[in-house]
Chain A
């Protein structure tokens, strides 16, 4: 990639909505002024609970790379159990930002000190906003609030617009509220690095 570009890798478990998150980020990034955006799911065995990844690229010009992101500037982890088994730390660029949905304090996550770790209770944000499907809080939209706060790559206005375009009616309102709560609970105090 040439010029300013950002490579982002998503880690989730099947059913958590990592692919939806990646789509929302692409839309929000375009609305935030990035001319080149792509979000691409990586498909393996499609089953609930299995580790899944997705790749998002942001640039000032159209993106011409379609292969998976292997050396991310930002890695976003929807489930902290994937830090140990999901390859979430593989290939991180020096100084990369790692955003983790967790209730654990950062030192307990066991991530090396050359990575900027941002922890946030995104599940709690989804729960507080009532984004619950089949009894489980769904973080796919809420995590965008943490991404906006931790990276500054997208604005919250753009995140809410992207959520409004993807979800209808009360689902849109609840997901936007979840993203706002996640934005607030992703404080600089949770950042180590």
Chain B
């Protein structure tokens, strides 16, 4: 009989529990705040024998992902976790894991990038590697961290793509809340052992892994034609776009097995009749649901569109959900410096040329752990509503316009 127990735990404990339930075989990690408790917990389980896996303590994040790349190449289910500067330090291997199409799962406890030094939450770290070719999923609470991390292994192994499971540092990583923990049988039925290990390190069948590849197609030693670097990259893009369906299927199958449906690519709250749509990824979107409730109490038809899958970007689904609305206000916890918030920019791209597209107004908030109270979110919505040019294409110079993203709660004297 399958059972579910509910336990109060942190987001980091939820991530570690998911890795254990997924029966990871190799974990390599280097500690960094606020991720450290994930791999500390796993290493204790490996030491006690509770998790029969290989834990490789390394001297840097670059090596952590390198070990995962090696393990995954020979067929192991590999896992790591990091944050901020740790992710930046492993960036070379982030690209390698994706290009080599390895189904590694990595949890990111989202944290601000230095300098200046700051260990608290925003989403600049994972947003900065959004173009590397990984699937990126964002979680809204600790139960979703556990469920999404389990789902990530299935998505990864089905698509031959690495998956990042992103969750807000401290706000989720260190916050205790009730988490529904499925039993091992439920997870085993959902996630069978990794299929057909490649076993490329086989003296009887020697191969060259990740060789130099020229841009143009060419024939191999047997005369068999193969794509060049350009074709391999196009394949990668096709695989990543196709992964959207795998993300939806993993969510649907998990919902059938556990009763918990996280919405696949996106999720929504009081959206059906909303004129004003508040958009975000992660715990901020959860908090926006409370702002929407307050606005509804004041007879403002507000709803929330939460982004769960950021890469591949569900452009069609987002455009369909925003069609016919008056205004979309996108709250980013990151910046594409020199332009605007990454989610805001992507949503404008998704809406370009579409019928009935709403105006899109960008708000950046919470950088470096700046507290974002519900009242400030509500005020931001009211300000945008009161500014007819907010989010309007080519808006003239105004208090708020599309070209000048609003920085929520910014002190007037920001240069000291």
Contacts and interface: CB of A to CB of B under 8 A. Distances in A.
B406 interface: no
Contact of A67 (B120, B178, B373): B373
Interface string A93-105: 0000000000000
Contacts, number: 64
A43 B290 CA distance: 24
Contact of B374 (A26, A35, A67): A67
Given A27-B8, A37-B8, A43-B120, A64 B287 contact: yes
B177 A26 contact: yes
A1 B170 CA distance: 21
B287 A26 contact: no
Given A2-B293, A65-B287, A40 B171 contact: yes
A86 to B, nearest CB: 17
A132 interface: no
Contact of B175 (A2, A30, A62, A66): A66
A22 interface: yes
Contacts of B287: 64-67
Interface string B340-374: 00000000000000000000000000000101111
A15 B289 CA distance: 35
A43 B119 contact: yes
Given A2-B293, A27-B8, A43-B120, A67 B174 contact: no
B268 interface: no
Nearest to A23: B176
Contacts of A67: 287, 371-374
A40 B8 CA distance: 12
A39 B171 contact: no
Contacts of B186: none
Contacts of B168: 66
Interface in B280-321: 283-284, 286-287, 289-290, 293
Interface in A24-76: 26-27, 30, 35-41, 43, 62-68, 70
B61 interface: no
A108 to B, nearest CB: 33
Contact of B373 (A23, A35, A40, A70): A70
Contacts of B171: 40, 66
A103 B15 CA distance: 42
B147 interface: no
Contacts of A65: 287, 290, 374
Contact of B371 (A35, A37, A68): A68
A165 to B, nearest CB: 9
A64 B286 contact: yes
Nearest to A28: B8
A112 B178 CA distance: 36
Contacts of A27: 8, 176
Given A40-B171, A63-B177, A70-B373, 12 more contacts: A22-B176, A23-B8, A36-B177, A39-B176, A40-B174, A41-B170, A64-B287, A65-B287, A65-B290, A66-B168, A66-B175, A67-B287
Interface of B: 6, 8, 119-120, 141, 168, 170-172, 174-178, 283-284, 286-287, 289-290, 293, 369, 371-374
Of all A-B residue pairs in the complex, the 7 with the closest CB atoms, nearest first, are A40-B175, A26-B176, A39-B176, A27-B8, A66-B171, A67-B373, A38-B177
Interface of A: 1-2, 22-23, 26-27, 30, 35-41, 43, 62-68, 70
